[in-house]
Structure 1
């Protein structure tokens, strides 16, 4: 698609834009679903400087802080979405295109909010939005996820993994004093991580992905979110640690842009037991 035009149901509100869209995705977030009364919404993002309204001016509605939705005041068709977080762009509803067949979606976003009865088999990648826990939730499912994900270390690492000593109360305290993030789907946790701000760095711990959901990019999505949190906190580095025996993890960290930066020893050990990895943000 190289530029395009679109209109509302009654044809009063029209638009035009130039150039190829920046992205094209299906959104499953609750606010978009409620705004359109549809199970999901199909968007294309275009540069604000290449976009113009060519018909009647749309009406606008501030649907959430920093978000404005444009719609036709006559027929009610939802036309566009704008957020203060991305002032350089405007998101258009793909079904309003004069030629909606030109739309080429590349994935699903906010998949963690999709409706349970929705069944899709388009083969497109799905992207989840991590959710921050407050510490007031039931932490047992998160604890079980961590323990299951770390169980393979038993008999391999010395000393044994700290996951054995971790409790639901510990996770709740880390959520209150630091940050605990989870990717879940229909209420079931699929992946999690603990973030601890430290001087000059954001430390990542207990990064875990549930069996059956590995190799789907969930760990990478969490690490990308950790990088965004580090930038928001003004911290220039991400830091992770791995046991010296887990060379497979070391290779995975390197593939995700982390570099080995040092070694540490657990109390009572006269040899390195952990390797530290860092990544600039």
Structure 2
């Protein structure tokens, strides 16, 4: 799509934009569903300075802090979503395009909020919105997720993984004293990671993905979120550790921009037992 135009149902408001959209997605969040009375909403993001409006003035509604949704005051057609967090662009509704067949969705976002009676076979990648645990939730599902994800280390790493000492109480404490984030689908945890702010860095621990959802980019999504949290906290680097035996993990971390920055030994061992990996946090979000 290289430019386009669209209108509301009654035609009293029109828009046009130049150039290709910045992105094109299907959104499954509850607020967009309610705003459009549809099971999911299809958006294209366009740089604000490339959009032109004509006809009647749009009406608007502040649906949440920093978010404004505009619509036609005559026919009620939703027309645009604007966020203070992304002041440089405006999100247009794909179904209002004069040629909606030109829309080319790239992925599903807020998939963790999708309706259970929606079944899609487009094979597009899905993006989940992480949820931060408060420490008051039942932690058994998170404990089971971590234990299952780390089970492959048994008999491989020496000394045994600290996951064997992890408890529900310990996870609740980690959520209160640091941060525990989880990706969920229909209430089931699919992936998680623990974050601990330290001087000059944000430490990542217990990155775990359910076996049923591996190779779907969930670890990358959580690590991208960790980078966002580091920016919010003013910390210039991410840090994690991996046992020396887990060479496959080392390669995966390096492919995601981490570099080996040191080594440590567990108490009682004269050889390195873990490698430290670090990644510089960019000043701006991608």
Q: What is the TM-score of this pair, normalised by structure 1?
A: 0.99
Question: Cα RMSD between the aligned structures?
Answer: 0.7
Alignment partner of 1:3 is 2:3: yes
In structure 1, how many angstroms separate the alpha carbons of the residues matched to 2:98 and 2:255?
A: 43
Q: Paired residue for 2:16?
A: 16
1:188 aligned residue: 188
Number of residue pairs the alignment of both structures matches: 281
Secondary structure of 2:156's counterpart equals coil
1:33-86, CA deviations, whole angstroms, 9 ceiling, x for partnerless residues?
010010000000001001121111110000000000000111111000000000
* Structure 2 counterpart of 1:91: 91
Describe the superposition over 1:198-245 as per-residue Cα deviations: whole angstroms up to 9, x where unpaired: 000000000000011100000000000100000111101000100111
Q: Which residue of 2 aligns with 1:55?
A: 55
2:196 is equivalent to residue 216 of structure 1: no
Whole-Å Cα distance in 1 between the matches of residues 39 and 213 of structure 2? 24
Q: Which runs of 4 or more aligned residues in structure 1 lie more than 4 Å from their structure 2 counterparts after TM superposition?
A: none
> What is the CA distance between 1:19 and its match in structure 2?
0.8
Q: TM-score, normalised by structure 2?
A: 0.97
- Give, in whole Å, the separation in 2 of the partners of 1:49 and 1:97: 18
Deviations 1:6-25 (A, max 9, x none): 11111111111111100000
State the partner residue of 2:206: 206
Q: CA deviation at 1:3?
A: 1.1
Q: Is structure 2 residue 31 aligned with structure 1 residue 31?
A: yes
SS where residue 220 of structure 2 aligns? helix
Other-structure match for 1:104: 104
Q: Structure 1 residue 267: deviation in Å?
A: 1.4
Partner of 2:258: 258
CA distance in 2, matches of 1:274, 1:208: 18
Which runs of 5 or more residues in structure 2 are unaligned? Answer: 282-286
Structure 1 Cα separation of the partners of residues 12 and 176 of structure 2: 51
